[in-house]
Amino acid sequence: MPKFAANLSMMFTEVPFLDRFEAAAKAGFKYVEYLFPYEYPAAELKAKLDQYGLKQVLFNTAPGNVSAGEWGVSAIPGREADSHRDIDQALEYAIALGCPNVHVMAGVVPDPKEYAKYKQTFIDNVRYAADKFKPYGIKVLLEALSPQVKPNYLMSSQYQTLELVELINRDNVFVQLDYFHAQNVDGNLSRLTDRLKGKFAHVQIASVPDRHEPDEGEINYTYIFNKLDEVGYDGWVGCEYNPRGKTEDGLVWFEAYKNK
Ligand SMILES: O=C(O)[C@H](O)C(=O)CO
Ligand SMILES: [Mg+2]
């Protein structure tokens, strides 16, 4: 039975970010994830987690200069120092927040001819992250993003990410399996889940095509949740979706799971 994490970057946006911890707890969530913690002192976020009895299960390394089109720097040749600085910063936050997973963001490849160079840069920087995180039992997660969300991101297919995980060859590096992106790019989610068995350590869900609650669209999530049990997945499932309306009004689907 999946353990669901509220994504505080996309859910409960009716209230300011620091009030979303309370909103998620009141809605029955025990776990949370969000994109970036860096605007706030780690102690302030940890106090929120403790106040509402929540566990943080994921956040990302810093995105770089988003207004310049960056979405992660760890794949960008020449930005190794920035990548290592972001990885070191993420480690500090993960330790302070008690967070077991960090999504190391790769970056956008402006020219497809540059892909091999960006890929090797990412492999080297993820190995740096894996070796720094290892003593603390923290996992490194790598995620493919569909082109309609992030054009020219280093990885668009789950199978590309699986190849990277295997090339990086560190036992604390895993795929972050976001079924929204997976359905948009790869499809055949049953075969994909079987193929990724043991290689993924976090899941995210949203409807396709509209990235709303998992109770609509072309993915049968009841089937997927049973498939996750079938392959022995015991990690968390992040609800990385844009609510159709008021967040709480869209949580009927969650009723069947929240007290498990
Ligand atoms: O956008 C997503 O699906 C990712 O989970 C993310 O964290 C940033 O791209
Ligand atoms: Mg995702």
Q: Quick: pLDDT tens for 116-166.
A: 999 999 999 999 999 999 999 999 999 999 999 999 999 999 999 999 999
The residue assigned the tokens 């923290």 is 138
Q: Which of 80, 143, 216, 255 is catalytic?
A: 143
Alpha-carbon distance values, 203 to 131, 175, 198, 244 (Å): 23, 9, 12, 21
Atom nearest to 35 CA in ligand 1: 7
Neighbours of 173 (CB within 10 A): 25
Dist CA 8 CA 52 (whole Å)? 14
CA 121 to chain centre: 21
Tell me which residue has its CA closest to atom 8 in ligand 1. Answer: 35
Tell me which residue has its CA closest to atom 1 in ligand 1. Answer: 145
Res 108: pLDDT = 98
pTM, two decimal places:
0.98
Beta carbons of 207 and 214 less than 8 angstroms apart? yes
Pocket test for ligand 1, best of 145, 177, 179, 205 (most atoms within 8 A of CB): 145
Structure tokens at 88: 């070191």
| Phi, psi for 167 (deg, rounded to 5) | -70, -40
Rg (alpha carbons) of the chain, rounded to whole number: 17
Res 28: pLDDT = 97
35 CB under 6 A from ligand 1?
A: yes
Task: Name every residue whose Cβ is closer than 8 Å to that of residue 136 and which is 6 or more positions away in sequence.
Answer: 91, 94, 95
The residue ranges of the chain whose pLDDT is under 70 are 260
103 CB under 6 A from ligand 1?
A: yes
Res 260: pLDDT = 66
Is 80 a known active-site residue?
A: no
Dist CA 91 CA 42 (whole Å)? 11
Alpha-carbon distance values, 253 to 171, 240, 248 (Å): 35, 14, 11
Atom nearest to 153 CA in ligand 1: 9
202 CB under 6 A from ligand 1?
A: no
Atom nearest to 180 CA in ligand 1: 3
Dist CA 231 CA 31 (whole Å)? 22
Atom nearest to 150 CA in ligand 1: 9
Dist CA 59 CA 54 (whole Å)? 14
Residue 173, beta-bridge partner list: 140
Structure tokens at 130: 């894996």
Pocket test for ligand 1, best of 35, 57, 184 (most atoms within 8 A of CB): 35
Is 39 a known active-site residue?
A: no
Pocket test for ligand 1, best of 61, 178, 183, 205 (most atoms within 8 A of CB): 178
Dist CA 221 CA 203 (whole Å)? 12
Dist CA 233 CA 219 (whole Å)? 18
CA 142 to chain centre: 8
**What DSSP element (H or E) covers 43?**
helix 42-51
